[in-house]
Every structure is written in C-alpha cells, then in structure tokens.
Amino acid sequence: MTKVLLLVGDGMGDWPLDELGGKTPLEEADTPGMDFLAPISRVGLCQTIPENMPPGSDIANMTLLGYEPGRYHTGRGPIEAVAMGLETAEDDLVWRCNLVNVSDFSQSGTMLDYAAGHIGSREGAELMHGLQKELGSSEFSFHAGVQYRHILVQKKGLPGRAAGLDITPPHDLLDQSLAGDLEKYQGYPALWDLVRRAAEILQEGGNDTSARAIWPWGQGGPLRLPAFKHRYFLEGAVISAVDLVKGLGRAAGMRVVDVPGATGLLDTNYQGKLHAAKTFLETGDFVFVHLEAPDECGHMGSIRDKVEAISRFDQQIVWPLLEHLRGEDVIIITCCDHLTPIKIRTHARDPVPFLVYDSRQQASGPETFSEKEARSTGIFLEHGHDLLPFALNRKGDA
C-alpha cells in the first residue's frame, strides 16, 4: 500500500524581504529535503482560502485535508472544542477564547499580544479555571486548552445575535485599536459583561502573567465532518501541537497522536513528531504532520526565527521522513496552509506553494522549492480542497 504524507509548515510562505536581499524566508532557509524533492515533483500554487472567507488556519487546514470549507466550516471555536473532547449541543455557540495582553481594556486600548506572552499551558489553565469559578454560569462556561488558546461555550446561543458578531481575530489586531471590536461586544450585553468582568479579574493583583483580557472570537455551531477513511480509503492520523489541527483530525475520524513536548513553537519536539509519524506509518496509510512554528515566527515579525523554523521543519521532519521511506511506494506533499508575511505579521490569502512527489511517477519540477519557483511552473489549483485528490490522482473526492 502506498504511504501518503502531508507535511505542513504553517504560515511558511511569505513575500520577498529587503532584509534578505529580495528573498523570502523559504528561499533563505536551508531546506535540503524540499529542494531534493522539487525537481522530481509536481510543483505549483494552490488557493487554500476561498474568495469569500478569511485567511484563517482553521479554513486553510480543513482545505488541505480535502474538505470544502464553504460546506463544512462553522467556526474556529467548534474545531478546537472537538480537539478538547467537549460535548456540545446543536444549539450551543462555541467561541475560541484567547488570553491576550492589551494596553488597556477600553476604547483607547490597543492589542499588545494575541498570545499573552505565549503563556504556558499550566498558567493558562489556572487562569481559565479561575474565570470559570468567578464567571461561569448556566449561559457561559470556560474550558482550558493549550497555552493561550481556550474555549468559551455559550449554551443555547444558536440561533442568536451573538452568532453573527464579526470579531477580529486578535492576531489581526496587533498594535491596533480595540475600539471597533469592543463596540461589537457591547452590542450583546451578556457577552460584554462577561469580557469586561474577565478583564477586571485578570488585571487584579496575583496574576503574574501578561494575560490582561480574554478575546472571544471564531464562534460557531458544532462541527460535523464526513469520515476521512470513507472519503479517501486511507487510514489516517494527524500529528500537531495545536488543538485546531487535532480537532479537524478527530472530527474526521482520524487518529490524533499527542506528542509530549510539542509546543507549537520553535522549540517543539521535532524528534517526537518524527517518531510518531514513522510509528503510525508502520500500519497506517496517511499522516498529516503539522508544524506551527513558522506561523508563530511570522506573527512575531522575526525574520531570523522564521528562517530557522522553516529550516528545522525541513531538516528534522521532511528530510528524515524522505530518508526513512526511500525505496518505498510513497506520495509526499509539502506545503503551507497560508502565508504569514513578516511585513504584515498576520495571514495573507495568497495562493500557497506546494510540491507533490510520487515515487511511482516521473515528474519534472524546478531546481528548488520556493514561492517564486512554484509560480513559475504554471500549475495552479483554484480550490485548495483539490490538492489531496490531485496528489492521489483522483477526481471529485472533495
């Protein structure tokens, strides 16, 4: 049976930077694995973000797994709730709830950090448990996730006005005013009272972290996905540090592999992820390995760290897996879910570069793997959910 690997460097794509002599971080990075594969692969661009949807990792990674977001996506919060094993009712409204740092939780305040200094999971959980104790009710409940990423469940929130609130993701508000979004919260008094009181509690003495407020966003109803195995006839697994990807995998009936020390940052446990992928492929058919670090470095605006994150993704994941499977029937897809350009420190909706290597087929691609080289081939997939069927040489699976 052919083994299929989908290796994702989250936010890896970028725009040319003057600081790199007009190169992108992907071009600057040391990527022996992807550069080895490019000349013998199909290389091109893929539009992972539909025209009428925001460039979020939830939408993009759902697309990469072969599911059409316009048909299945309900929100960021519901995906992560699935990852946490939360039982939600059909009329519950599920919010992603960030712990954030703000200059002041008022109309004059700005968003300083969407991740509260990348707060540790233990510290984040303690704060969420405290908020649940103080503010939890028959309508709202807080649920601790990973680091700064948590869940707020609004019981019987569907249908309701809050479901339609278009709250800006906090990573899109860095160094910008809170005023517009606070006005939106204020339009729903129960929610406004909750976020206002949460900010007051977090700003009281005894909180040694930089979390100064909560930021509910990405709300929606429960997520329902058709089984991945039934769609693609592959026994699959996802390996990721973040609840978003775990939730997509769990909702699709895939195995979700938890790797100790997987942080979603530059210091993640690469060897643990590599070992998990190798072990699963001994019996399974498809593995989705997701590395969050390039995206986080893009949000931080660190060129050096983003280049390093891409290099580590290649040297500690792509190349070792290629070596491990050399001589076997294998399909390897490497790509990013979306661009996270250093210049804007948030997601962009540009098409993403991808390569598809199939050991059973001859292909002629560019000498190296980059955004520019992917554009030069003329291969373009208009719909991101077509990438997996394209790699599998199938039609109509999505």
Tell me the per-residue pLDDT of 151-176, one tens digit each, with 9 for 90 and over: 999 999 998 878 889 999 999 999 99
Query: Band of the pLDDT at 364, cuts 50, 70, 90?
Result: very high
3-74+225-391: which CATH number, 3.40.720.10, 3.90.1150.10, 3.30.70.20, 1.10.10.10? Answer: 3.40.720.10
pLDDT tens track for 82-105: 999 999 999 999 999 999 999 999
**Cα–Cα distance for residue pair 363/386, rounded to 1 Å:** 19
Q: Is the pLDDT of residue 146 over 90?
A: no
HSE-CB for 297 with a 13 A CA cutoff:
28
Rounded Cα distance between 69 and 332, Å, is 23
State both tokens at 56: 């979020």
Per the prediction, the chain carries an average pLDDT of 95
Q: Which residues fall within 8 angstroms of residue 114, CB to CB, at 6 or more apart?
A: 98, 100, 148, 169, 170, 171, 173, 174, 215, 299
Summarised one tens digit per residue, pLDDT across range 10-44 is: 999 999 999 999 999 999 999 999 999 999 999 99
Structure tokens at 331: 């399909």
How confident is the model at residue 222, as a pLDDT? Answer: 92
Confidence of residue 54 (pLDDT cuts 50, 70, 90): very high
- Identify the bridge partners of residue 6 per DSSP, sorted by sequence position: 288, 333
Name beta bridge partners: 94: 153, 220
Using an 8 Å Cβ cutoff, are 167 and 110 in contact? no
Per-residue pLDDT at 111: 98
Distance CA 241, CA 176 (A): 28
For residue 27, what pLDDT is reported? 99
- Predicted confidence (pLDDT) per residue in 219-238, tens digit: 999 999 999 999 999 999 99
Long-range contacts of 223-227 (CB under 8 A, 24+ apart): 223/72, 223/74, 223/78, 223/79, 223/81, 223/82, 223/247, 223/251, 224/72, 224/251, 225/67, 225/72, 225/251, 225/252, 225/253, 226/67, 226/252, 227/252, 227/253
Tokens representing residue 8 in the block: 């994702």
User: Could you tell me where the DSSP H helices lie in the chain?
Assistant: 25-28, 32-37, 57-64, 69-72, 76-83, 121-135, 179-186, 189-202, 228-232, 243-251, 270-281, 293-300, 303-313, 319-324, 371-376, 387-391
Residue 77 has pLDDT above 90, yes or no: yes
Handedness of CA 358, 364, 365, 366 (dihedral sign): positive
Other C-beta atoms closer than 10 Å to the C-beta of 278 total 14
**Confidence class for position 398, pLDDT limits 50, 70, 90:** very low
User: Between β-strands 140-146 and 255-257, what pairing exists: parallel, antiparallel or unpaired?
Assistant: unpaired
Reported as type and span, the H/E element at residue 357 is strand 352-358
Contact 374, 44 (CB under 8 A): yes
pLDDT digits (tens, 9 = 90+) for 266-277: 999 999 999 999
pLDDT digits (tens, 9 = 90+) for 247-303: 999 999 999 999 999 999 999 999 999 999 999 999 999 999 999 999 999 999 999
Q: What is the pLDDT of residue 100?
A: 98
Average pLDDT over residues 351-370: 96
What band does 330 get if pLDDT is binned at 50, 70 and 90? very high
For the cut 50, the answer to whether the pLDDT of residue 396 exceeds it is: no
Distance CA 336, CA 31 (A): 14
| Model confidence at 395: pLDDT above 60 | no
Tell me how far apart the alpha carbons of residues 91 and 215 are, in angstroms, rounded to a whole number.
22
pLDDT value, residue 205: 74
The domain ranges of the chain are: 3-74+225-391, 81-220
Burial grade of 327 (CB within 10 A; 0-12, 13-18, 19 or more): exposed
